[in-house]
Structure 1
């Protein structure tokens, strides 16, 4: 399954507020312009924004976009039309690559019950894959805590594989955040064990880690965790991790759990040191 540029697995988690503020924020305009140079370094494989629509300000337009069916709302009305339009645009953009569609973002917190998710998966989402062989579905991506693990276990266990009837996703979607008091070494060990355990438990699917971050308030801990885990994820023996993205590319800290030290942008919209490294504007 051809998914990303050679040697690249990094997906840019581009918050929707950047699209909202782009035309009135000069530093953010400079940031988007810098992505052309980043693309030439082959560090970024794709972009996603937790939405059905492609960020129009990102250039060049040939960077693959991964639309997301974040909640049941994206399966209805105008949002459904946008999902279909984004998929059609990706099918036309590159006839040789898979069109990857993310589904249900931390459904256990919406909350969306497993039963409702299964019904929507079978009646609305699986027909997308049946409509074109290049469409690849990512499983719902749950939080890496006990509640998220129970939800994903129940969802995956309920999917059928019976002869030609395969309800399983093409790709396993995962999230991972460290605990704020963990050292870089503890966070790294926990992340590796979580990714390997989840994959082994579900039958060795390819994996996309669609949210990932260290939540320590110590910038040195965040920096070491982020860079060391990126190196591990990009090793050849982790070829089963096809894409991953650090949270996040946004100007404001999303909530009290997320660490300000992990931000890829500052409040003006310029790359932080970590962001400059992440998108390939700094040497590894």
Structure 2
């Protein structure tokens, strides 16, 4: 099984992250993560605490639903990030960082504005999995590669789960996920306080499969996206009574590590 073959290299990569000095800033140099779990024994993991490599700025992170799978994240230090960026949503004002996945054209663009400082593709155009470890002011962005379904075939490393570490929060975006996650994925992801999950029920994963993933991640805030015609009640019902549901009339909210909800909450912003 491909995951079994990759497990040893995944574990070695996580340990390399642990041992690398916090001053590393380049994409090809792993950066210590405050959210990462060292994959020592699956399925059990040991969560490690690191001094963040990014400049720590205390305060609130603002998250806005822009459309489809695009959320805009604004850090306390003023860094603007747009997820699954196609240029259709979240482009004004222009983000400093964009992430992309290549499921279809509403998740990426081949012609990003050259003024965008960091264009992070969830796939590697040269082949093999993408690898990102980028520090921009008060945010650290890294990725966990997954496979993607293209024209009926699974393409290894074609999608990425992007993780944004900022103000003590661990924020994850599952991208256009096409398969269940295995133990090595969960170990590489680590803790997620906030997770953005596709709930379309077919073009990515079934509602049952995505709810299983979301339940295991057990984040404080779950942000649905990529909904299409799926009734919201289908997803919330699959998540069960452990998860509260908070429907908002606004497209944005602000949150800090101190005021995460006590019970895990599915937060549905306007437009979803």
Instruction: Quickly name the TM-score band, shorter chain normalised.
Output: 0.3 to 0.5
More strand, by proportion: 2
More helix, by proportion: 1
TM-score, structure 1 length as denominator?
0.34
TM-score, structure 2 length as denominator?
0.36
